[in-house]
């Protein structure tokens, strides 16, 4: 490949080297080529080899570079002891969020639609903080809320489950006017 000279901030264009048509089967020792030099492939696109030196700002190029980083497989099939999904601790988180947000609230369907989303987001962030930064659990939070007018309700869910590592925690909150059920699923992934 040969590099073409450019002016200013232009990206240099690469031209292809001439192809040697006399190359034959390289495994056969009787056939040899005239040119045995190795010529690496070079693309036309410039590549960034290091991250940006601007520590305070992030650009789209930085996020593209960061999203292209490939991590090696750790072959870790089960969580470490300090990273396990503790059902009791997660139930305490759900309980504290429900009590702090739902203690003195009256039921209205419009407000509770938004409130259930806010509660699930708050529970999810607290659970992720509790499990630590480098855990390998996918967290799914489901908050169901409704009014109480002498009716019954059953909540069910189905999951592909690996019993030794996948866990769930649930807690319910009831008043005279409404109920709220929070379920947190912790699904371990490798």
pLDDT tens by residue, 155-179: 888 888 888 889 999 999 999 889 9
**pLDDT confidence tier of residue 120, bands split at 50, 70 and 90:** very high
Given a cut of 90, whether residue 141 has pLDDT beyond it is: yes
Using DSSP's 3-state secondary structure scheme, residue 158 falls into: coil
The model's pTM is 0.60
Mean pLDDT over residues 108-131, rounded? 91
Tokens of 129: 């903080």
Name every residue whose Cβ is closer than 8 Å to that of residue 183 and which is 6 or more positions away in sequence.
141, 142, 143, 144, 155, 157, 168, 169, 170
| CA distances in angstroms from 55 to 51, 52, 66, listed in the order given | 10, 7, 14
Mean pLDDT for the stretch of residues 85-98: 94
Q: Which of 67, 20, 13, 11 is nearest to 39 (CA)?
A: 20
CA distances from 171 to 89, 157, 164 (A): 12, 15, 22
Query: What is the C-alpha separation between 88 and 128, in angstroms, rounded?
Result: 15
């Amino acid at each position: 490949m040969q590099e073409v000279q450019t002016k200013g901030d232009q990206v240099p264009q690469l031209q292809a080297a001439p192809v040697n048509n006399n190359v034959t089967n390289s495994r056969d020792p009787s056939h040899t080529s005239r040119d045995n030099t190795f010529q690496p492939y070079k693309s036309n696109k410039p590549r960034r080899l290091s991250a940006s030196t601007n520590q305070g700002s992030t650009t789209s190029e930085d996020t593209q570079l960061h999203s292209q980083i490939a991590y090696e497989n750790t072959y870790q099939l089960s969580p470490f002891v300090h990273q396990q999904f503790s059902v009791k601790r997660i139930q305490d988180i759900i309980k504290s969020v429900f009590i702090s947000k739902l203690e003195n609230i009256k039921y209205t369907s419009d407000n509770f639609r938004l409130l259930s989303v806010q509660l699930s987001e708050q529970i999810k962030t607290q659970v992720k903080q509790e499990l630590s930064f480098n855990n390998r659990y996918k967290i799914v939070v489901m908050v169901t809320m409704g009014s109480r007018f002498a009716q019954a309700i059953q909540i069910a869910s189905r999951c592909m489950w690996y019993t030794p590592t996948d866990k769930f925690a649930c807690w319910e909150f009831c008043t005279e006017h409404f109920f709220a059920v929070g379920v947190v699923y912790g699904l371990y992934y490798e």
